[in-house]
Structure 1
Amino acid sequence: MGSFSIWHWLIVLVIVMLVFGTKKLRNIGQDLGGAVKGFKDGMKTFEEPKEQIQQSSATAEKTVDVQAKDVNK
């Protein structure tokens, strides 16, 4: 009972296609794909400032603060 064979999934697919129709399923697929794409784009814009902060801290670590010493003392 825990696993379904390919025949079970094919029967479920046929029933879903009969109930909803192919046009409705296509629209659902497009909407779902658009939502996933929007989510990925949102995550990319969220990660960009984080990368910029890491880059600026990396350049700050490379700078060296030096004090001049008076050699004539």
Structure 2
Amino acid sequence: MAGLSIWHVLIFAIVVILLFGTSKLKNLGKDVGGAVKDFKKSIKDEEATAASLTEPRTLEHQNNHTDVNSTVKH
């Protein structure tokens, strides 16, 4: 009997609800959910930024992004 039974979990849940109340637990759930959502969004944005910084640059790519009025003399 080293593991948790359903009765242990049920008693723990009842004690937590009695201590904090359902409104505080609901607000806590919203806050944690919002934090996880923001974290996932920031990770996705950072990966997109890192991917754009690590893409290989070619001479054609550099020439396409130079000023149209500039000329290169060789």
Query: What is the TM-score with the length of structure 1 in the denominator?
Result: 0.69
Root mean square deviation of aligned Cα: 1.6
Q: 5+ unaligned residues in a row in structure 1: which ranges?
A: 61-73
Partner AA of 1:36 in structure 2: V
Partner AA of 2:27 in structure 1: N
User: Which position in structure 1 is the counterpart of 2:26?
Assistant: 26
Q: 5+ unaligned residues in a row in structure 2: which ranges?
A: 59-74
Q: Distance in 2 between matches of 1:26 and 1:15?
A: 16
Runs of 4+ in 1 over 3 A off after TM superposition: none
For residues 24-49 of structure 1, what are the alpha-carbon distances to aligned partners after superposition, in whole Å with 9 as ceiling and x for unaligned? 10000000000111111110110002
Partner AA of 1:3 in structure 2: G
Is the radius of gyration larger for structure 1 or structure 2?
Answer: 1
For residues 8-36 of structure 1, what are the alpha-carbon distances to aligned partners after superposition, in whole Å with 9 as ceiling and x for unaligned? 00100001001111001000000000011
User: Which position in structure 2 is the counterpart of 1:39?
Assistant: 39
Q: Write out aligned runs for 1:1-73 (5 A).
A: 2-54=2-54, 56-57=55-56, 60=58
Q: Distance in 1 between matches of 2:26 and 2:52?
A: 39
Percent of aligned positions that are identical: 45
Query: What is the TM-score with the length of structure 2 in the denominator?
Result: 0.68
